[in-house]
Protein backbone atom coordinates (compact mmCIF):
# COMPACT_ATOMS: atom_id res chain seq x y z
CA UNK A 1 0.00 0.00 0.00
CA UNK A 2 1.32 3.43 -0.97
CA UNK A 3 2.04 5.80 1.91
CA UNK A 4 0.46 9.25 2.00
CA UNK A 5 2.63 12.35 1.90
CA UNK A 6 1.09 15.47 3.40
CA UNK A 7 1.67 18.71 1.52
CA UNK A 8 2.24 21.70 3.81
CA UNK A 9 2.07 24.98 1.89
CA UNK A 10 3.89 27.97 3.33
CA UNK A 11 3.40 30.42 0.44
CA UNK A 12 1.51 32.78 2.75
CA UNK A 13 4.24 32.74 5.40
CA UNK A 14 7.71 31.88 4.10
CA UNK A 15 6.72 32.84 0.56
CA UNK A 16 5.51 36.26 1.65
CA UNK A 17 8.82 36.84 3.44
CA UNK A 18 10.46 36.97 0.02
CA UNK A 19 11.36 40.64 -0.65
CA UNK A 20 8.47 42.41 -2.38
CA UNK A 21 5.98 39.56 -1.99
CA UNK A 22 3.74 41.28 0.58
CA UNK A 23 -0.01 40.73 0.12
CA UNK A 24 -3.11 42.29 1.61
CA UNK A 25 -5.71 40.31 3.54
CA UNK A 26 -8.08 39.89 0.58
CA UNK A 27 -5.26 38.58 -1.60
CA UNK A 28 -4.12 36.13 1.08
CA UNK A 29 -7.66 34.81 1.50
CA UNK A 30 -7.94 34.38 -2.27
CA UNK A 31 -4.72 32.37 -2.38
CA UNK A 32 -5.78 30.33 0.67
CA UNK A 33 -9.04 29.35 -0.99
CA UNK A 34 -7.21 28.38 -4.17
CA UNK A 35 -4.76 26.29 -2.12
CA UNK A 36 -7.79 24.55 -0.64
CA UNK A 37 -9.01 23.75 -4.18
CA UNK A 38 -5.50 22.58 -5.04
CA UNK A 39 -5.76 20.04 -2.25
CA UNK A 40 -2.95 20.94 0.15
CA UNK A 41 -3.24 19.37 3.61
CA UNK A 42 -1.97 22.32 5.65
CA UNK A 43 -1.68 26.05 5.03
CA UNK A 44 0.84 28.00 7.06
CA UNK A 45 -1.08 31.26 7.09
CA UNK A 46 1.56 33.51 8.61
CA UNK A 47 3.51 34.59 11.69
CA UNK A 48 0.80 36.20 13.90
CA UNK A 49 3.17 37.68 16.48
CA UNK A 50 5.19 39.55 13.85
CA UNK A 51 2.61 42.34 13.32
CA UNK A 52 -1.03 43.33 13.76
CA UNK A 53 -1.48 43.00 10.00
CA UNK A 54 -0.17 39.43 10.00
CA UNK A 55 -2.32 38.53 13.01
CA UNK A 56 -5.45 39.83 11.26
CA UNK A 57 -4.68 38.02 8.02
CA UNK A 58 -3.98 34.69 9.77
CA UNK A 59 -7.24 35.04 11.72
CA UNK A 60 -9.18 35.83 8.53
CA UNK A 61 -7.68 32.85 6.69
CA UNK A 62 -8.40 30.52 9.62
CA UNK A 63 -12.05 31.55 9.45
CA UNK A 64 -12.27 31.36 5.63
CA UNK A 65 -11.17 27.80 4.82
CA UNK A 66 -12.92 24.64 5.94
CA UNK A 67 -11.26 21.49 4.60
CA UNK A 68 -7.61 21.99 5.52
CA UNK A 69 -5.47 22.59 8.58
CA UNK A 70 -4.34 26.16 9.27
CA UNK A 71 -0.98 26.64 10.97
CA UNK A 72 0.44 29.76 12.55
CA UNK A 73 4.16 30.14 13.19
CA UNK A 74 5.42 30.99 16.70
CA UNK A 75 8.81 31.26 18.30
CA UNK A 76 9.25 29.05 21.36
CA UNK A 77 7.90 31.83 23.56
CA UNK A 78 4.68 31.95 25.57
CA UNK A 79 3.73 35.35 24.13
CA UNK A 80 4.12 34.09 20.55
CA UNK A 81 2.18 30.92 21.27
CA UNK A 82 -0.65 32.89 22.93
CA UNK A 83 -0.88 35.27 19.96
CA UNK A 84 -0.79 32.45 17.43
CA UNK A 85 -3.53 30.54 19.22
CA UNK A 86 -5.76 33.63 19.28
CA UNK A 87 -5.27 33.96 15.51
CA UNK A 88 -5.97 30.31 14.57
CA UNK A 89 -8.36 29.08 17.26
CA UNK A 90 -11.44 29.47 15.02
CA UNK A 91 -9.99 27.25 12.30
CA UNK A 92 -11.67 23.89 11.76
CA UNK A 93 -8.25 22.25 12.21
CA UNK A 94 -5.78 24.61 13.91
CA UNK A 95 -2.06 23.90 14.29
CA UNK A 96 0.54 25.76 16.32
CA UNK A 97 3.96 25.59 14.63
CA UNK A 98 6.68 26.53 17.09
CA UNK A 99 10.44 26.58 16.52
CA UNK A 100 13.82 27.18 18.07
CA UNK A 101 17.32 26.96 16.61
CA UNK A 102 19.35 23.84 17.47
CA UNK A 103 22.66 24.18 15.59
CA UNK A 104 25.74 25.17 17.58
CA UNK A 105 26.29 28.30 15.49
CA UNK A 106 22.70 29.50 15.97
CA UNK A 107 22.58 28.67 19.69
CA UNK A 108 25.90 30.45 20.37
CA UNK A 109 25.61 33.54 18.19
CA UNK A 110 21.87 34.12 17.68
CA UNK A 111 20.20 32.74 20.80
CA UNK A 112 23.22 33.06 23.10
CA UNK A 113 22.00 29.98 24.94
CA UNK A 114 23.53 26.66 25.90
CA UNK A 115 22.18 23.43 24.37
CA UNK A 116 20.66 22.53 27.74
CA UNK A 117 18.80 25.85 27.87
CA UNK A 118 17.50 25.37 24.33
CA UNK A 119 16.41 21.81 25.12
CA UNK A 120 14.54 22.94 28.24
CA UNK A 121 12.85 25.84 26.42
CA UNK A 122 11.73 23.60 23.55
CA UNK A 123 10.17 21.05 25.89
CA UNK A 124 8.43 23.65 28.03
CA UNK A 125 7.00 25.56 25.07
CA UNK A 126 5.72 22.47 23.26
CA UNK A 127 4.09 21.37 26.50
CA UNK A 128 2.58 24.86 26.89
CA UNK A 129 1.32 24.93 23.28
CA UNK A 130 -0.28 21.53 23.84
CA UNK A 131 -2.53 23.04 26.54
CA UNK A 132 -4.10 25.18 23.82
CA UNK A 133 -4.08 23.03 20.68
CA UNK A 134 -4.04 19.31 19.91
CA UNK A 135 -1.93 19.63 16.75
CA UNK A 136 1.59 20.90 17.50
CA UNK A 137 4.45 21.08 15.01
CA UNK A 138 7.98 21.61 16.29
CA UNK A 139 10.82 22.80 14.06
CA UNK A 140 14.49 22.39 14.94
CA UNK A 141 15.75 25.45 13.07
CA UNK A 142 18.99 24.82 11.13
CA UNK A 143 18.55 21.08 11.74
CA UNK A 144 20.89 20.10 8.90
CA UNK A 145 23.80 21.79 10.72
CA UNK A 146 22.78 20.45 14.14
CA UNK A 147 24.86 17.78 15.90
CA UNK A 148 22.95 14.51 15.31
CA UNK A 149 23.00 13.44 18.97
CA UNK A 150 21.47 16.75 20.10
CA UNK A 151 18.91 16.64 17.28
CA UNK A 152 17.79 13.13 18.29
CA UNK A 153 17.54 14.18 21.95
CA UNK A 154 15.47 17.32 21.38
CA UNK A 155 13.17 15.58 18.86
CA UNK A 156 12.51 12.75 21.31
CA UNK A 157 11.87 15.23 24.10
CA UNK A 158 9.34 17.37 22.23
CA UNK A 159 7.44 14.29 21.05
CA UNK A 160 7.12 13.20 24.69
CA UNK A 161 5.94 16.76 25.47
CA UNK A 162 3.11 16.48 22.94
CA UNK A 163 4.38 17.38 19.46
CA UNK A 164 2.45 15.69 16.66
CA UNK A 165 4.76 16.80 13.82
CA UNK A 166 8.55 17.16 13.84
CA UNK A 167 10.05 19.39 11.17
CA UNK A 168 13.67 18.89 10.08
CA UNK A 169 14.38 22.06 8.08
CA UNK A 170 17.34 22.80 5.85
CA UNK A 171 17.05 26.43 6.92
CA UNK A 172 19.98 27.82 4.93
CA UNK A 173 19.84 25.44 1.94
CA UNK A 174 23.14 23.82 2.96
CA UNK A 175 22.58 20.09 2.69
CA UNK A 176 22.71 17.69 -0.27
CA UNK A 177 20.24 14.92 -1.22
CA UNK A 178 22.56 12.12 -0.04
CA UNK A 179 23.31 13.88 3.23
CA UNK A 180 19.69 14.78 3.90
CA UNK A 181 18.62 11.19 3.27
CA UNK A 182 21.06 10.10 6.00
CA UNK A 183 19.81 12.81 8.39
CA UNK A 184 16.17 11.72 8.08
CA UNK A 185 17.16 8.06 8.25
CA UNK A 186 19.19 8.82 11.37
CA UNK A 187 16.21 10.51 13.04
CA UNK A 188 14.00 7.54 12.23
CA UNK A 189 16.51 5.04 13.58
CA UNK A 190 17.58 6.90 16.73
CA UNK A 191 14.39 8.46 18.12
CA UNK A 192 12.42 5.78 19.93
CA UNK A 193 8.93 7.39 19.57
CA UNK A 194 9.32 8.71 16.01
CA UNK A 195 6.72 6.38 14.49
CA UNK A 196 3.93 8.08 16.47
CA UNK A 197 4.23 11.40 14.59
CA UNK A 198 4.75 12.92 11.14
CA UNK A 199 8.28 13.75 10.01
CA UNK A 200 8.26 16.98 8.00
CA UNK A 201 10.96 18.64 5.90
CA UNK A 202 11.33 22.29 4.91
CA UNK A 203 14.09 22.89 2.36
CA UNK A 204 15.51 26.17 1.12
CA UNK A 205 16.96 26.55 -2.35
CA UNK A 206 20.25 28.40 -1.79
CA UNK A 207 22.19 25.76 -3.75
CA UNK A 208 19.30 24.90 -6.07
CA UNK A 209 18.69 21.59 -4.25
CA UNK A 210 15.45 22.25 -2.35
CA UNK A 211 13.26 19.94 -4.44
CA UNK A 212 15.93 17.23 -4.71
CA UNK A 213 16.51 17.34 -0.95
CA UNK A 214 12.76 17.16 -0.23
CA UNK A 215 12.37 14.11 -2.47
CA UNK A 216 15.40 12.44 -0.88
CA UNK A 217 13.73 12.97 2.51
CA UNK A 218 10.54 11.35 1.21
CA UNK A 219 12.56 8.30 0.17
CA UNK A 220 14.11 8.23 3.65
CA UNK A 221 10.69 8.18 5.31
CA UNK A 222 9.51 11.79 5.68
CA UNK A 223 5.71 11.99 5.65
CA UNK A 224 5.21 15.75 5.15
CA UNK A 225 6.84 18.15 2.70
CA UNK A 226 6.76 21.91 3.24
CA UNK A 227 6.88 23.97 0.06
CA UNK A 228 5.62 27.08 -1.72
CA UNK A 229 3.91 27.86 -5.01
CA UNK A 230 6.51 28.75 -7.67
CA UNK A 231 9.20 28.12 -5.05
CA UNK A 232 9.00 31.68 -3.68
CA UNK A 233 10.52 32.37 -0.29
CA UNK A 234 13.38 33.99 1.55
CA UNK A 235 16.69 34.37 -0.31
CA UNK A 236 16.69 31.81 -3.15
CA UNK A 237 13.27 30.49 -2.16
CA UNK A 238 11.81 27.17 -1.03
CA UNK A 239 11.06 23.81 -2.56
CA UNK A 240 8.48 24.43 -5.30
CA UNK A 241 5.22 22.61 -4.61
CA UNK A 242 4.50 21.99 -8.29
CA UNK A 243 7.92 20.39 -8.85
CA UNK A 244 7.73 18.14 -5.79
CA UNK A 245 4.21 16.97 -6.61
CA UNK A 246 4.77 16.38 -10.33
CA UNK A 247 8.05 14.55 -9.70
CA UNK A 248 6.16 12.17 -7.40
CA UNK A 249 3.39 11.78 -9.98
CA UNK A 250 5.59 11.23 -13.04
CA UNK A 251 8.15 9.02 -11.25
CA UNK A 252 5.92 6.78 -9.17
CA UNK A 253 8.45 4.03 -9.74
CA UNK A 254 10.98 5.96 -7.64
CA UNK A 255 8.63 7.77 -5.26
CA UNK A 256 5.75 5.35 -4.55
CA UNK A 257 3.88 7.85 -2.40
CA UNK A 258 0.42 9.37 -2.76
CA UNK A 259 -0.73 12.91 -2.00
CA UNK A 260 -4.05 14.75 -2.18
CA UNK A 261 -3.04 17.41 -4.70
CA UNK A 262 -5.39 18.01 -7.62
CA UNK A 263 -2.67 18.63 -10.19
CA UNK A 264 -5.11 20.20 -12.66
CA UNK A 265 -5.24 23.22 -10.33
CA UNK A 266 -1.45 23.71 -10.38
CA UNK A 267 -1.17 26.13 -13.29
CA UNK A 268 -4.08 28.27 -12.12
CA UNK A 269 -2.56 28.48 -8.63
CA UNK A 270 0.84 29.39 -10.04
CA UNK A 271 -0.65 32.16 -12.17
CA UNK A 272 -2.66 33.52 -9.24
CA UNK A 273 0.43 33.79 -7.03
CA UNK A 274 2.35 35.40 -9.91
CA UNK A 275 -0.34 38.03 -10.50
CA UNK A 276 -0.76 38.88 -6.82
CA UNK A 277 2.94 39.07 -5.92
CA UNK A 278 4.16 40.41 -9.26
CA UNK A 279 7.00 37.86 -9.14
CA UNK A 280 7.17 36.20 -12.56
CA UNK A 281 8.50 32.68 -12.99
CA UNK A 282 11.34 32.37 -15.50
CA UNK A 283 10.28 31.00 -18.92
CA UNK A 284 12.26 27.78 -18.44
CA UNK A 285 10.83 27.14 -14.95
CA UNK A 286 9.96 23.47 -14.46
CA UNK A 287 6.26 22.51 -14.74
CA UNK A 288 4.72 26.02 -14.86
CA UNK A 289 7.19 28.06 -16.94
CA UNK A 290 6.07 29.55 -20.25
CA UNK A 291 8.39 27.19 -22.15
CA UNK A 292 7.70 24.07 -20.06
CA UNK A 293 5.61 22.54 -22.86
CA UNK A 294 7.09 24.44 -25.82
CA UNK A 295 9.03 22.56 -28.52
CA UNK A 296 11.00 24.66 -31.01
CA UNK A 297 13.75 22.32 -32.19
CA UNK A 298 12.90 20.67 -35.52
CA UNK A 299 13.95 17.27 -34.22
CA UNK A 300 11.80 17.70 -31.12
CA UNK A 301 8.81 18.87 -33.16
CA UNK A 302 9.09 15.88 -35.49
CA UNK A 303 9.18 13.50 -32.54
CA UNK A 304 6.19 15.21 -30.92
CA UNK A 305 4.14 14.86 -34.11
CA UNK A 306 4.88 11.14 -34.21
CA UNK A 307 4.41 10.45 -30.50
CA UNK A 308 4.09 13.09 -27.75
CA UNK A 309 5.89 10.86 -25.26
CA UNK A 310 9.14 11.29 -27.21
CA UNK A 311 9.71 14.67 -25.57
CA UNK A 312 6.77 15.17 -23.18
CA UNK A 313 6.89 13.27 -19.88
CA UNK A 314 3.69 14.92 -18.62
CA UNK A 315 0.81 16.55 -20.44
CA UNK A 316 -0.20 20.22 -20.27
CA UNK A 317 -3.67 19.03 -19.26
CA UNK A 318 -2.25 17.30 -16.17
CA UNK A 319 -1.45 20.70 -14.61
CA UNK A 320 -4.61 22.41 -15.87
CA UNK A 321 -3.30 23.98 -19.07
CA UNK A 322 -6.06 22.71 -21.37
CA UNK A 323 -7.75 25.71 -22.97
CA UNK A 324 -11.44 26.42 -22.89
CA UNK A 325 -12.72 26.28 -26.47
CA UNK A 326 -15.58 28.75 -26.06
CA UNK A 327 -14.89 32.00 -27.95
CA UNK A 328 -16.23 35.11 -26.29
CA UNK A 329 -16.82 38.34 -28.18
CA UNK A 330 -19.01 41.42 -28.25
CA UNK A 331 -22.09 39.38 -29.22
CA UNK A 332 -21.75 36.99 -26.27
CA UNK A 333 -24.55 37.28 -23.74
CA UNK A 334 -24.47 37.20 -19.99
CA UNK A 335 -25.61 33.57 -19.86
CA UNK A 336 -22.69 32.42 -22.04
CA UNK A 337 -20.32 34.53 -19.97
CA UNK A 338 -21.56 33.03 -16.69
CA UNK A 339 -21.33 29.50 -18.18
CA UNK A 340 -17.73 30.19 -19.17
CA UNK A 341 -16.83 31.37 -15.65
CA UNK A 342 -18.52 28.32 -14.12
CA UNK A 343 -16.75 25.92 -16.52
CA UNK A 344 -13.40 27.50 -15.64
CA UNK A 345 -14.06 26.99 -11.93
CA UNK A 346 -14.36 30.63 -10.86
CA UNK A 347 -16.44 31.14 -7.71
CA UNK A 348 -17.88 34.65 -7.88
CA UNK A 349 -20.94 36.28 -6.39
CA UNK A 350 -23.58 38.05 -8.49
CA UNK A 351 -22.17 41.51 -7.81
CA UNK A 352 -18.70 40.47 -8.95
CA UNK A 353 -20.06 38.77 -12.08
CA UNK A 354 -22.10 41.85 -12.94
CA UNK A 355 -19.08 44.14 -12.60
CA UNK A 356 -16.82 41.82 -14.61
CA UNK A 357 -19.46 41.42 -17.34
CA UNK A 358 -19.68 45.21 -17.76
CA UNK A 359 -15.91 45.41 -18.21
CA UNK A 360 -16.00 42.36 -20.52
CA UNK A 361 -18.50 44.08 -22.84
CA UNK A 362 -16.37 47.23 -22.85
CA UNK A 363 -13.31 45.14 -23.73
CA UNK A 364 -15.20 43.14 -26.37
CA UNK A 365 -16.06 46.39 -28.18
CA UNK A 366 -12.33 47.04 -28.52
CA UNK A 367 -11.16 43.50 -29.37
CA UNK A 368 -12.37 40.94 -31.93
CA UNK A 369 -12.01 37.99 -29.57
CA UNK A 370 -11.61 37.98 -25.80
CA UNK A 371 -9.17 35.29 -24.68
CA UNK A 372 -9.15 33.25 -21.45
CA UNK A 373 -6.14 35.33 -20.37
CA UNK A 374 -8.18 38.51 -20.92
CA UNK A 375 -10.96 37.13 -18.71
CA UNK A 376 -8.46 36.17 -15.99
CA UNK A 377 -7.08 39.71 -16.03
CA UNK A 378 -10.59 41.21 -15.75
CA UNK A 379 -11.43 38.95 -12.81
CA UNK A 380 -8.16 39.77 -11.08
CA UNK A 381 -8.72 43.52 -11.52
CA UNK A 382 -12.26 43.39 -10.15
CA UNK A 383 -11.31 41.93 -6.77
CA UNK A 384 -12.94 44.22 -4.27
CA UNK A 385 -10.70 46.08 -1.83
CA UNK A 386 -11.76 48.99 0.30
CA UNK A 387 -10.98 52.14 -1.68
CA UNK A 388 -9.91 55.24 0.21
CA UNK A 389 -9.51 56.97 -3.17
CA UNK A 390 -11.64 56.18 -6.22
CA UNK A 391 -10.61 57.40 -9.67
CA UNK A 392 -13.40 59.37 -11.38
CA UNK A 393 -11.61 60.61 -14.50
CA UNK A 394 -8.25 61.59 -15.92
CA UNK A 395 -7.11 63.67 -18.89
CA UNK A 396 -3.77 63.43 -20.65
CA UNK A 397 -2.12 66.00 -22.89
CA UNK A 398 1.09 64.77 -24.45
CA UNK A 399 3.09 64.68 -27.65
CA UNK A 400 6.61 64.65 -29.02
CA UNK A 401 6.88 68.46 -28.97
CA UNK A 402 5.06 69.33 -25.72
CA UNK A 403 5.60 68.62 -22.02
CA UNK A 404 3.20 65.88 -20.85
CA UNK A 405 0.55 67.14 -18.44
CA UNK A 406 -2.03 64.99 -16.65
CA UNK A 407 -5.10 65.94 -14.64
CA UNK A 408 -6.38 63.40 -12.09
CA UNK A 409 -9.84 63.56 -10.53
CA UNK A 410 -10.64 61.27 -7.56
CA UNK A 411 -13.30 60.84 -4.90
CA UNK A 412 -12.60 60.47 -1.18
CA UNK A 413 -15.33 60.33 1.47
CA UNK A 414 -17.84 61.73 -1.03
CA UNK A 415 -15.65 64.71 -1.93
CA UNK A 416 -14.03 65.30 -5.32
CA UNK A 417 -10.31 66.14 -5.32
CA UNK A 418 -8.40 67.14 -8.44
CA UNK A 419 -4.78 67.93 -9.18
CA UNK A 420 -2.49 68.43 -12.15
CA UNK A 421 1.17 67.61 -12.74
CA UNK A 422 3.75 67.57 -15.49
CA UNK A 423 6.31 64.82 -15.93
CA UNK A 424 8.84 63.10 -18.17
CA UNK A 425 5.93 61.24 -19.77
CA UNK A 426 2.18 60.78 -19.23
CA UNK A 427 2.65 57.98 -16.70
CA UNK A 428 5.21 59.94 -14.67
CA UNK A 429 2.94 63.00 -14.72
CA UNK A 430 -0.07 60.92 -13.60
CA UNK A 431 1.85 59.44 -10.67
CA UNK A 432 3.00 62.89 -9.56
CA UNK A 433 -0.57 64.23 -9.72
CA UNK A 434 -1.81 61.33 -7.57
CA UNK A 435 0.98 61.90 -5.04
CA UNK A 436 -0.17 65.52 -4.72
CA UNK A 437 -3.75 64.40 -4.07
CA UNK A 438 -2.95 61.82 -1.37
CA UNK A 439 -0.20 64.02 0.11
CA UNK A 440 2.09 61.04 0.66
CA UNK A 441 5.41 60.50 -1.05
CA UNK A 442 6.09 56.94 -2.20
CA UNK A 443 9.16 55.40 -3.79
CA UNK A 444 8.35 53.47 -6.97
CA UNK A 445 10.26 50.18 -6.63
CA UNK A 446 8.79 48.23 -9.52
CA UNK A 447 6.84 49.11 -12.66
CA UNK A 448 6.16 46.22 -15.04
CA UNK A 449 4.06 46.21 -18.21
CA UNK A 450 3.06 42.86 -19.68
CA UNK A 451 0.82 42.10 -22.66
CA UNK A 452 -1.92 39.74 -21.51
CA UNK A 453 -2.24 38.31 -25.04
CA UNK A 454 -0.68 38.95 -28.44
CA UNK A 455 -1.76 41.55 -30.99
CA UNK A 456 -1.89 45.33 -31.08
CA UNK A 457 -5.27 45.27 -29.29
CA UNK A 458 -3.92 43.24 -26.34
CA UNK A 459 -4.62 44.31 -22.79
CA UNK A 460 -1.54 45.71 -21.11
CA UNK A 461 -1.30 44.49 -17.54
CA UNK A 462 0.65 46.83 -15.25
CA UNK A 463 2.12 45.73 -11.93
CA UNK A 464 3.34 48.40 -9.52
CA UNK A 465 5.20 48.11 -6.24
CA UNK A 466 5.52 51.15 -3.98
CA UNK A 467 7.71 51.44 -0.91
CA UNK A 468 6.87 53.49 2.17
CA UNK A 469 8.53 53.06 5.54
CA UNK A 470 10.39 49.88 4.51
CA UNK A 471 7.11 48.17 3.55
CA UNK A 472 5.85 47.31 0.09
CA UNK A 473 2.40 47.92 -1.40
CA UNK A 474 1.37 46.29 -4.68
CA UNK A 475 -1.18 47.27 -7.30
CA UNK A 476 -2.11 45.84 -10.71
CA UNK A 477 -4.59 46.49 -13.50
CA UNK A 478 -5.15 45.47 -17.10
CA UNK A 479 -6.59 47.57 -19.92
CA UNK A 480 -6.09 48.14 -23.63
CA UNK A 481 -5.02 51.67 -22.59
CA UNK A 482 -1.62 51.44 -20.93
CA UNK A 483 -1.96 54.87 -19.28
CA UNK A 484 -5.23 53.77 -17.68
CA UNK A 485 -3.62 50.50 -16.54
CA UNK A 486 -0.76 52.46 -14.97
CA UNK A 487 -3.02 54.93 -13.17
CA UNK A 488 -5.35 52.21 -11.84
CA UNK A 489 -2.45 50.02 -10.69
CA UNK A 490 -0.88 53.00 -8.91
CA UNK A 491 -4.19 53.82 -7.25
CA UNK A 492 -4.53 50.17 -6.18
CA UNK A 493 -1.14 50.21 -4.47
CA UNK A 494 -2.00 53.48 -2.71
CA UNK A 495 -5.34 52.11 -1.50
CA UNK A 496 -3.49 49.07 -0.14
CA UNK A 497 -1.26 51.46 1.80
CA UNK A 498 -4.25 53.30 3.31
CA UNK A 499 -6.03 50.02 4.08
CA UNK A 500 -3.00 48.69 5.96
CA UNK A 501 -3.94 48.71 9.64
CA UNK A 502 -6.73 51.25 9.09
CA UNK A 503 -4.87 54.28 7.73
CA UNK A 504 -7.11 57.16 6.58
Question: Residues 396-438: pLDDT tens digits?
Answer: 999 999 999 999 999 999 999 999 999 999 999 999 999 999 9
Same domain, 365 and 482: no
pLDDT the model gives residue 1: 53
pLDDT the model gives residue 339: 79
Query: What's the average model confidence in pLDDT over 4-12?
Result: 97
Closest C-alpha to 104, from 114, 89, 93, 119: 114
Query: What's the average model confidence in pLDDT over 315-335?
Result: 74
Same domain, 105 and 169: yes
User: In angstroms, rounded to a whole number, what is the distance separating the alpha carbons of residues 196 and 161?
Assistant: 13
Q: What is the pLDDT of residues 361-399, one digit of tens each?
A: 888 887 666 777 778 777 766 665 678 899 999 999 999
Instruction: Provide the domain limits for residue 469.
Output: 390-502
Query: What's the average model confidence in pLDDT over 148-165?
Result: 98
Same domain, 36 and 12: yes
Residues 6 or more apart whose Cβ sits within 8 Å of residue 361: 330
- Residue 306, pLDDT above cutoff 90: no
Largest CA distance in the chain: 80
Query: What's the average model confidence in pLDDT over 295-312?
Result: 50
Number of domains in the chain: 4
- Residue 501, pLDDT above cutoff 70: no
Same domain, 179 and 316: no
How much is the mean pLDDT over the chain? 90
Question: Angle at which helices 241-250 and 266-277 pack, to 10 degrees?
Answer: 170
User: In angstroms, rounded to a whole number, what is the distance separating the alpha carbons of residues 218 and 186?
Assistant: 14
Q: What is the pLDDT of residues 278-298, one digit of tens each?
A: 888 999 999 999 888 874 444
Same domain, 263 and 170: yes
Kindly state whether residue 101 falls inside one of the protein's structural domains. Answer: yes
Kindly state whether residue 325 falls inside one of the protein's structural domains. Answer: no
Q: Which pLDDT band holds residue 452 (cuts at 50, 70, 90)? A: confident
Kindly state whether residue 289 falls inside one of the protein's structural domains. Answer: no
Does the CA dihedral 166-171-173-174 come out positive or negative? negative
Amino acid sequence: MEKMIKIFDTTLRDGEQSPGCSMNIEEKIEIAKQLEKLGVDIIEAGFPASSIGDFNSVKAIAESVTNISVAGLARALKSDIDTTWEAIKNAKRPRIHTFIATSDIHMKYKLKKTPEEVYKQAIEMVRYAKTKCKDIEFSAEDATRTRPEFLYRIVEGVIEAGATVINIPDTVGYTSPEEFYKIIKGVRENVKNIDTIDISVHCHNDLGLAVANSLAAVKAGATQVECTINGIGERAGNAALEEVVMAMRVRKDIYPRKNKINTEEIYKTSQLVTRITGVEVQPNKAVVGENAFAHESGIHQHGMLENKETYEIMTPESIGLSKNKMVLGKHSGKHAFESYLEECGYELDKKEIEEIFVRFKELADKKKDVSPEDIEALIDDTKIIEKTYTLKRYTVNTGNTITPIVSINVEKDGKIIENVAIGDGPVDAAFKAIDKIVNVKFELKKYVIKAVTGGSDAQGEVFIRLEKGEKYYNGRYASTDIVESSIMAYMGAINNYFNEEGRK
